[in-house]
């Protein structure tokens, strides 16, 4: 199991990062909003501390990355495993930066989405969180989302089932 050319390794890495968006969509829609709701429900409620049960998903999703990197570096599985494990880890870092830092502000910052892409992603995620229930939610991706107008129309079509009641302004 020899070395692979660096450009092929980068291709494995980039393909894995892109594939992880599909994995994340499927896991979010059919696992987290399905049998895994017992953990994910904490993420659709106001957080009362630093951590929420949903944070266990970060640990769960890190396991394949750790195993692949270990297998590629120490167990002779081949360099491909290291590149794929690194791609999974990179997606996790991108997800953390976007989802936990930018959208949910779990780490204080002054960033304001200005690009059309970032505004679209942030708004789509906020529309996802407008629904407090397991069902009826829209937008399950993290790096790609339909336009906000489509998501709003879908919520209206679903007769706003599970949509959080408007909170009074604190101003």
Amino acid 117: pLDDT: 93
Amino acid 2: pLDDT: 64
Per residue in 84-94, pLDDT (tens digit) is 999 999 999 99
Per residue in 97-116, pLDDT (tens digit) is 999 999 889 999 999 999 99
Amino acid 161: pLDDT: 57
Q: Is residue 171 part of a domain?
A: no
Q: Which residues contact 128 (CB under 8 A, 6 or more apart)?
A: 137, 138, 139, 140
Amino acid 168: pLDDT: 42
Q: Is residue 82 part of a domain?
A: yes
Q: Is residue 167 part of a domain?
A: no
Residue from 133, 144, 28 nearest 155 by CA: 133
Q: Is residue 168 part of a domain?
A: no
Q: Is residue 131 part of a domain?
A: yes
Per residue in 138-150, pLDDT (tens digit) is 899 888 888 989 9
Residue 50 has pLDDT above 70, yes or no: yes
Q: Is residue 169 part of a domain?
A: no
Per the CB < 8 A criterion, the answer to whether 119 and 113 are in contact is yes
Amino acid 25: pLDDT: 95
| DSSP 8-state secondary structure symbol assigned to residue 166 | P
Domain count, the chain: 1
Residue 59 has pLDDT above 50, yes or no: yes
Owning domain of residue 77: 6-157
Mean pLDDT across 3-17? 96
Model pTM score: 0.87
Q: Is residue 94 part of a domain?
A: yes
């Amino acid at each position: 199991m020899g070395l692979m050319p660096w450009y092929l390794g980068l291709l494995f890495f980039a393909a894995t990062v892109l594939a992880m968006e599909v994995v994340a969509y499927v896991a979010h829609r059919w696992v987290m909003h399905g049998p895994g709701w017992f953990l994910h429900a904490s993420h659709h409620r106001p957080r009362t501390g630093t951590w929420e049960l949903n944070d266990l998903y970060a640990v769960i999703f890190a396991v394949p990355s750790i195993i692949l990197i270990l297998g590629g570096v120490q167990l002779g599985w081949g360099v491909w495993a290291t590149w794929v494990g690194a791609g999974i880890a990179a997606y996790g870092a991108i997800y953390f930066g976007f989802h936990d830092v930018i959208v949910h502000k779990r780490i204080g910052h002054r960033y304001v989405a200005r690009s059309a892409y970032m505004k679209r992603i942030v708004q789509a995620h906020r529309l996802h969180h407008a629904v407090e229930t397991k069902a009826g939610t829209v937008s399950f991706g993290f790096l790609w989302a339909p336009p906000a107008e489509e998501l709003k129309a879908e919520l209206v079509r679903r007769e706003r089932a599970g949509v959080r009641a408007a909170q009074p302004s604190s101003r």
